[in-house]
Structure formats: structure tokens, C-alpha cells
Structure 1
Amino acid sequence: MDILVDGELYLYGTVGDSFWDEGFTSMDVVRALAELGRTTDVTVHINSGGGIAFEGSAIYNALAAHAGKVTVIVESIAASAASLIAMAGEEIIMRKGAIMMIHDPSMITIGNSEDHQKSVAILDKLADSMADIYAEKTGRSADEIRQEMRSEIWLEAEDAVAQGYADRLDEADAPEPTAFDYRLYQNTPERIVALADARAWSKRGKLKAAPAAPTRQQKDRAIMTAQIPAELNPAATNPTTPLVETKGPTAAEVALAAAEIAEICTAAGVPQMTATLIKEGVTPAEARIRADTAKQIRATVDLARTAPGIEADLADQFIAQGASIEQVRAQLFEKIATAQQPTTINTVLPPKSDAPRFDLVADMKRRIGMA
């Protein structure tokens, strides 16, 4: 989905774009930010009923790491994962009549007691992480926020501002909320439920997941597929994949690995890599190597930027290309050397001096680790 329109991001539809006709993914956001440039100010318009929690977390991290100012406008609704994304804004604006919803993340687990216990641990960890983000924005304690998340609160625009989840109101009227099965939530306002029913949104998920006269195996597959994001589930992309008697990782193990990868990328300062690594199916150990390399690349480019000829977004380009640190150093040296080529010939010899001559290229080569 093309979410970049006239230099602004429009996050409309389901977070994760896995089970619905319209939506957006973390990779959509990362690509859009890369196209804008790392230091460009950006306005993000949100109209989303929520979606995949891990995708919401990855999008929040990508926006929070953006060097330019991020302004978020909740056009109509920012529910569940979409409300977490909204917290990345340095300024959060609510349209007149817009709604924000805060609640605990959830998932479906199929397996033995150990599988369910792992899911509980994953959800608790994710919920605590979300609470910390909401708490930082509102200025309240994470424990207080956790209570609100457990209660599933729906906030009108004025309430969102009053409770610190948003900064100010905008008098422009909110458009219609985006399509979503709002009956999935516990405390959905009646007007939103009525709208979803009138638009037949409450039937879309069922129609897509279960075609007419499904077999028992198809029903089982639909339940299993709903357990984790489609990007992380081989059965979601290959309907012939057997769902029983497999020796691969359980859904809980896959989700736990995804959470660990997200933590690794965030700690390395490259949260925008999270979705890419998860979709590639790398292990946490492999993700740590990739994230550490990306961190090294960014630090090396930052050092090299004291010399002319080094673009501001060069680190992002190297990371996107999957360049090694050795390749990065070689290309940086070539750029620095090229930038230092004399454009005029000086026929006047400098006076002799016993002081050693400063060589910018040699100094920069040493600083980026090539000497």
C-alpha cells in the first residue's frame, strides 16, 4: 500500500495488513520514511481500528527513531495497536469527534500448557512495554496505565487530551472510521458498533477466513492462522502446509522470537529493521549480528560525516543494501578521497616547515577503522 501522499503518511486501515483488504505494514512505514529522508519533518494521519500488536510496536519504533519532527493527527480512530503508533508523535492532534482506544494486547494459542504459559509471558512483556510508552506520553505511572489497558478505555477527543494521550484538539470534523470488525473489542461504543454492522464490516473477517462450506481441516487452519501474523506463519502463505505432526517451532516460540528480535533492534538503535528481520525468518542470534552491524554502520557514517561528500541518509542506504562494515568503510573512503580531489592547481609552493602535514583523508581513514 502506498501510504506516502504529498510528503505525508496516511495510515488508514488495519495495522499489519494481514487479514483485511486494506491496511499498512511496518515495511510500508519504513520505506516511506526512507523516501522522505531521515531528518525531514513528517505528519502522520491515522484512521485505524488496530491490528497486529507486533506490527504496531515496530511502526511506533520506526517513527520514534525518525530524526525529523513527527506530528500525528488522529483523523477518526486510533484503536489498539494504532493508538500505540500515535504515541510516536511529538505532537498528537485529535480531530473533532475522533476516538482513541487503549487496551491489553491479545492472541490465540493452540497447544499444551507450556505453550499457553509462553503466550502469557509474551503478552505480559508486550503489555508492560506498551504501558511504558503510554506512561511516558501521559506523565502518569505505568501501573495506572496498565489498569486502564485492562479495562479497555475508549476516549473521545476531549478525553484523550484531558488524560494526556493527545496534546490538542482540531476543529476539523473527523471522517468515518476505517473499516474494521469493531465487535472484536469489549467496550466498543454503540455508535461504532452500529456503523460497523451497517457497513457489514463485522462479517468481512469471517467471509475471508472461512469460505463457503469449509472442511474441518480448513477450519483448523483458519484458527491456527489467526494465532500469529501471516508474515510469521508458513501455513498462512502456503495453504498446503500441514498443521499437525510438525517438528517446527510452535506459534508461541515464533512470537517469542519476534519479541526478542524487536528488543534487539531497539537496543541497537535500529528499530526500523525489526519487521524486515522477522519476515526473513532469522533467529534472534542472527538478528543480533545484523543489528550490531547496522549500529556499527551508523556510527561509522556519523564519524565520516565530518568530511565533505557524505550524505545524511547514507547509513540508511547501506543498511537497506545489506552492506558489510568492510564494504561501508571502503565506500566511505572512496567518497572522502573523491571529495578531496583538488579542482585547481596551485603553482605557488608552500613555505617549508618541519611540522608534519595534516592529511584529512588519512585521518578520516584512521577514524572509520581502515588504518
Structure 2
Amino acid sequence: MKKLKVFLSESKNPHLNIATEEWIFDNLDPSQQVLFLWQNEETVVIGRNQNPWNECNLAKMKEDKVHLARRKTGGGAVFHDLGNICFTFLSPREEYKRENNVQIIFNALKELGITGEASGRNDLLIPFPDGPRKFSGSAYREKKDRAFHHGTLLLHADLTRLGNYLTPNPKKLQAKGKESVRARVANLNEVRPGIEAKHIVEYMVPAFERFYDGKADIEMLSLATVNKNAELKGHYDQLSSWEWLYGNTLEFTHKMDEYLSLGFFDFQFKVEDGVIKDVHIYTDCLYPSLVDELTTRLKGQPYRGDSVKAAIEAAKTKHPDLIAGVSELGQWLLKNIEI
């Protein structure tokens, strides 16, 4: 009888759930079959090599209380909310077949009255009168002794939300075409009204057990359990850290300009590994000492909101007669780079 393990996350914290995936991939016994089901609160998940300042509207995300997470694998940005559920399968490499995992998903959905079909390498579709539409995308990883397959199932996700938090290069929009992507996607509640994550868990775990003809050891995970597992805590501490989320970027330049009460300001930050290596402030402001003060205070600091706040507060102290204008300048800067 095969050794089966199921993890169910009680936490909606994206850093814990993504860390759990990494822990499963890096640390678990690869001879067993593993299923992990989880959901994230509203989160933009970016790829390992993406730049959050270039890709994301961080100010809007902060305003709407949307998390930022960065995975260790490549690819583009995706949006998670409680309208979808994520699945992760781990298998011994020599026994891995994507078709097995797809069959487990389809067997569970069949119990809910949903018939799906597989397409290409990564997509699962539902047939509609106007043609099939995608309700799941997935990706694959492997190393010498294990294979890893993960993806999402759209239940009742808001399919327009991602666009609110991305600032993609116009060339990407021209190449991809938002409407064509939206037209091919469907939520499962369009064919099974009222479907929730609990229903997927209720039917997926037994489908997993039936497929492998065994009884799974089921473990619940939460933030409270992290400290009991040093390996998992290590992944969580890394993936939730500022250094990983924001500092893990190559050198880039962030330019912003605006007309303010103190004059026109054009800030150009050169940032490397999340640290301000250089900053140039082009302005017609009549107070050059203020510009010098801000330049000196910002250079060498982490590219984050508290660095800006500290520089602005110092400038207010040095220039008490300019408090209103400096405050306005600070609010504008924070809106552009606050995290």
C-alpha cells in the first residue's frame, strides 16, 4: 500500500502557504504521494525574477490590503483570492504522471456534477456551447527524486481584479490582449452554483485516497504550527521577509514626476537589491538645500516607505517654514513607492 499524505491549510496567509509548498518540495520524503490544498487571501503572486515596483501598483495594493508574495519559480504575476483554491501534488519522480493528478481532480469534480477535459500540458477546461473555457492552470517542477505539480481551480474568483494591481509594459498588453484571455476563462460556479473551497476538499481528499487505494494521513497546517517545524519555519521566514519580497531585484531605475506646491519634481531612483544606490531630483523648487537634504538622506537607504518617512521628517525639522509643502511631497512619494 502506498504511503499517502494530505496537508490542509487552515491559514489564508500566502507566505505560509507558498512556504509550505517549498517545504514539501525540498524536505518531505519523496517516496510518498502528497496532496496539499490551500487558499490565499487577496494576493498578487509574482515570479522569482519579476520586479514588484515595475510590475505592481503597490500603492493600490496597500490601499486595498492586498498581499504581495514572490514564489521561487519563474513566470508572471497571478492574483489569488478566496474565490479560488490551490492544489499541490508531490510524487516520486519515477511514478509521476500528470494524468494521474488530473484524473483525481476530475473524479472529485464529477462528484459535484462537473465534467472537465484536459488541454495541452497545463490547462483544464469546461465545455460550453460557445467552446471550452479554462478553469485551471498549472505548472510542473522536478528534481532527481521527486516531481511536483501545482495549480489553481477557479471557483468564484473575480477575474478582473489582477488588472487593478498590475502596471504591465504596454508591449505586454499588445502581445497578450486582455479580452482574448478573459473570454477563455470560467469559474466553476458557472456550472455548479454555490461551489466553495470546502466542497473541493470534501471530494478531492477521498478521490486522492481512492485513486491510490489507501488511507491518507491528514495534517492541518496553520501559523500556530510553523514554530513546531524548523524546516517549514525557515521557508516561511525567508518568503515573508522584505529582502525576499522586495530586495530580491536586479538594478533598476524608478522615475516619477509631479507638479506640487513647492514646484515640479522629477525623482529618479537607482535601486539595486532593494537599496537606493543613487537618487537624482530634478526640480524648479526654490529651496536647493531641501533637495540636497532629501538626496543625502535617501541615498543608501532601503527603497521602502519608512526610509521616505524618515527623510521627510528630517527635512521638516530642518525647514520648519516649509512643513506643508514638504508633507505634500512626502505623501506623493509614499503613494508611489510605499510598501
Question: Going by fraction, where is helix more abundant, 1 or 2?
Answer: 1
Question: Going by fraction, where is strand more abundant, 1 or 2?
Answer: 2
TM-score, shorter chain, exceeding 0.5: no
TM-score normalized by structure 1? 0.22
Bigger relative contact order (CA 8 A; separation at least 6): 2
TM-score normalized by structure 2? 0.23
